[in-house]
Amino acid sequence: MACGVTGSVSVALHPLVILNISDHWIRMRSQEGRPVQVIGAL
pLDDT in tens, 1-42: 567 788 899 999 899 999 999 999 888 888 887 777 778 776
Total count of domains within the chain: 1
Q: What is the pLDDT of residue 1?
A: 56
In a domain, 2, yes or no: no
In a domain, 5, yes or no: no
* Helix, strand, coil content of the chain in percent (nearest 5): 40, 0, 60
In a domain, 29, yes or no: yes
Q: What is the pLDDT of residue 19?
A: 92
* AA identity, residue 33: G
Tell me the residue range of the domain where 32 lies: 12-41
In a domain, 36, yes or no: yes
**Dihedral sign (CA 41, 27, 20, 7):** positive
Tell me how far apart the terminal alpha carbons of the chain are, to the nearest angstrom: 46
Query: 7 and 1 in contact (C-beta within 8 Å)?
Result: yes
In a domain, 6, yes or no: no
Q: What is the pLDDT of residue 2?
A: 63
* CA 33/CA 17 separation, integer angstroms: 26
In a domain, 31, yes or no: yes
